[in-house]
Structure 1
């Protein structure tokens, strides 16, 4: 997960316009819930085409939680951060129905992060040995909070303390880190919020860890190409030869560090890898530039 600024995408008109489908549906739901109900209202308009388009743009066609790319073969689930129909473990809670068509409660999610499914999950109790087991994961109707919970439309849900991370409200990097255990890149908890999110979203499911490993191998290959380029430049004997190599070096540097940008798949994990290599790249480039400065006519004149 990476921080997401929801304000960079306009609110979908179907949810906000007075005559929009979402707004009209909210009014019908409010009337429906004026009397106690045993069955949740059947919302449908939170996934209007303009909502899906806006969510795909906001999250760069990625799942808000695992950052896997969402494709035509695996369309997004329009995810309610606060579940709209019921809350797991809360028998008498009607769900946050009043937020069912609220833009700030909607995120883009892949099926595996959003729906309850049996998954092979990886872990490590000591940070060294890899463990794995199959169990149910996926957010589904879970929404654990620390302390009081809003139970009706007149309660201020902003006073809640959710134990799950909404990347549009919280910086996930403060709660989730990364560690490679037995060659498997795992999300590791920095806080209780991170641990709950890792567990419920299934951020260490085996297929996801395999995808991150494949991405890491790609980064390792690019890093090797970057180091090789620097070594080749260092062997040049003339300033002209060095200058000819510099655009190639810049291309390798830009490509390697671009993986940490938020629009890329698994960018939080990629940032971890890139940051861990930053000092090495910086030292190698500084040493190269220092050598060029010493051996150039300007450098020689300065001595």
Structure 2
């Protein structure tokens, strides 16, 4: 997950008090008020209002451009594999484990509540989750068992006592006062809560909740497989928001870990090539022979091109770019130590 600034104009369908979104919101408010009255009278809960504006093609295009065709949560390139899900950060029609909640209906067509998501991060599905002890890809497969359902669906855990129900005259103020556990890449800095295991000695593409103190250990193992969303199970020395986000979005499902591990190994290869080219260039550069010194200059240029490749891999439009940025930071610290 990479921090993204929500720039650019708000899509027309969602912009202003006369927009299609505003009109839909007014209808949804009446629908929810009637639904609450029916439930209070002992009747069955009506179906969720049929929200449509968030599916507007201009909204999809704007989100695709904002996130470069990547999932807002896992940074996978969804454009190449499946249609994008327009994900509601705060769920529109109900909240998991809270039967009294009628959803964040006032945010169903709110531009700042929408994110592009891959199917696996957004929908509740059984996923293969590895729990390896080494950086072996073989052990990733051997330690993986398809026993854990992940995916956000209607999950939206918040800190106790901060839940917004949209029952006041200003539901937007209610939701603004909430303290959610789940990370939003447009509101939060994921790097403050998530850390990738990028050690070149054991390149394993797991993401872990970041320690609140640099001297504290990582939170491994993570929450137990099959566990409910349980912030109180998170070790106190790490980010609870990071841990819950990893669990709910399924950021350590097998396919993701394998893809990230392959990139880490590619980075390790590039690093080794750069170091070897630099070492050979340094030796050749001492030669009195002009041709040999010219070869040294060519090696320097080759190393620079490899560094350029690494920089490109860290660009916002590249998959798993936040992990690459953290790898670069780790590499620079090692080089300067």
Q: Same fold (TM over 0.5)?
A: yes
1:74-85 to 2 correspondences below 5 Å: 74-85=82-93
CA contact (8 A) 1:137 1:202 kept: yes
In structure 2, the partner of 1:260 is: 314
Q: Within the alignment, does 1:179 sit opposite 2:227 as a pair?
A: no
1:55-134 to 2 correspondences below 5 Å: 55-123=63-131, 131-133=143-145, 134=147
How many angstroms apart in 2 are the aligned matches of 1:268 and 1:104?
22
Secondary structure, aligned partner of 1:35:
helix
How many angstroms apart in 2 are the aligned matches of 1:282 and 1:275?
11
* Residue 87 of structure 1: how far off its partner (Å): 0.2
Q: Within the alignment, does 1:169 sit opposite 2:187 as a pair?
A: yes
How many angstroms apart in 2 are the aligned matches of 1:81 and 1:141?
9
Deviations 1:244-274 (A, max 9, x none): 5443332222222332222210112212222
Counterpart selection for 2:55 from 47, 59, 83 = 47
* Residue 127 of structure 1: how far off its partner (Å): 11
Q: Which moved more, 1:201-210 or 1:211-220?
A: 211-220
CA contact (8 A) 1:123 1:186 kept: no
In structure 1, the partner of 2:22 is: 23
How many angstroms apart in 1 are the aligned matches of 2:272 and 2:133?
32
1:182-261 to 2 correspondences below 5 Å: 184-190=204-210, 191-234=239-282, 235-236=284-285, 237=287, 238=290, 241-261=295-315
* Residue 281 of structure 1: how far off its partner (Å): 5.5
Structure 1: runs of 5+ lacking an equivalent: 284-303
Secondary structure, aligned partner of 1:78:
strand
1:275-290 to 2 correspondences below 5 Å: 275-279=329-333
Deviations 1:74-104 (A, max 9, x none): 1211000000000000001000000000011
When the two structures are superposed, what TM-score results if normalisation uses the length of structure 1? 0.84
* Residue 21 of structure 1: how far off its partner (Å): 3.1
CA contact (8 A) 1:123 1:204 kept: no
In structure 2, the partner of 1:292 is: none
CA contact (8 A) 2:280 2:296 kept: no
Q: 1:52 to 1:250 in 2, by over 3 A?
A: same
Q: Within the alignment, does 1:141 sit opposite 2:151 as a pair?
A: no
Deviations 1:130-159 (A, max 9, x none): 754321100000000002200016342111
Structure 2: runs of 5+ lacking an equivalent: 37-44, 211-238
CA contact (8 A) 2:128 2:253 kept: yes
* Residue 180 of structure 1: how far off its partner (Å): 6.4
Q: 1:112 to 1:70 in 2, by over 3 A?
A: same
* Residue 241 of structure 1: how far off its partner (Å): 4.9
RMSD: 2.6
CA contact (8 A) 1:119 1:136 kept: yes
When the two structures are superposed, what TM-score results if normalisation uses the length of structure 2? 0.76
